[in-house]
């Protein structure tokens, strides 16, 4: 039963609705200018089979308060940001742990050059780096995967 449960969560995280929310999450300032034809481009870029399905998901996200349309923009709300809290936390933890590992290895090198001889520090550094790599791997594996067209459209919105 737990394996089936985990597959449902991962499938939901990779759903078109979640990718739509993540698309806005990745945009500069977590908002997208609602230009003429943008929604149609987003629908195609995110791989929706029809515009109707896209608008159904968009309306669901608007009605649930995860997105708002305001002043000609589609904006991610705090509730929408909360949907990616798990991913963001893993990513931030991996960066912090990696940084701690680098600092410890640097400290070890300083100690190795005639200051002190503590040989346990590199092991701690490698353990921290390994743990951060594990966190980063989990975060990357669970990150919603935007299609190439969606990533290119995001680049256009940044200009």
Residue 63's pLDDT is what?
A: 92
Domain boundaries, the chain: 2-77+147-157, 85-142
Neighbouring C-beta atoms of residue 36, cutoff 10 Å: 6
Residue 99's pLDDT is what?
A: 81
Q: What is the pLDDT of residues 82-114, one digit of tens each?
A: 887 777 777 777 888 888 888 878 877 877 776
Full strand arrangement of the beta sheet holding 31-33: 31-33, 73-76, 67-70
Q: What angle do CA 70, 72, 75 make, to 5 degrees?
A: 50
Write down the architecture of domain 2-77+147-157 according to CATH.
Orthogonal Bundle (1.10)
Kindly state the DSSP code that residue 114 receives in the 8-state scheme. Answer: I
111 in Cβ contact with 121 (< 8 Å) = yes
Cα(90)–Cα(26) distance, rounded to whole angstroms? 17
Cα(46)–Cα(49) distance, rounded to whole angstroms? 9
What is the pTM for the complete model shown? Answer: 0.61
């Amino acid at each position: 039963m737990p394996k089936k449960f985990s597959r449902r969560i991962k499938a939901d995280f990779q759903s078109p609705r979640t990718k739509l929310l993540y698309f806005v999450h990745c945009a500069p300032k977590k908002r997208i200018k609602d230009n003429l034809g943008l929604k149609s481009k987003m629908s195609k870029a995110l791989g929706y089979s029809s515009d109707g399905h896209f608008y159904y998901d968009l309306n669901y996200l608007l009605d649930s308060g995860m997105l708002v349309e305001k002043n000609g923009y589609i904006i991610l709300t705090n509730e929408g940001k909360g949907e990616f809290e798990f991913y963001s936390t893993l990513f931030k933890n991996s960066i912090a742990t990696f940084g701690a590992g680098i600092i410890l290895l640097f400290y070890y090198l300083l100690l190795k050059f005639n200051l002190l001889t503590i040989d346990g520090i590199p092991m701690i550094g490698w353990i921290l780096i390994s743990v951060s790599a594990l966190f980063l791997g989990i975060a990357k594996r669970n990150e919603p995967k935007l299609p190439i067209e969606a990533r290119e459209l995001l680049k256009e919105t940044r200009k």
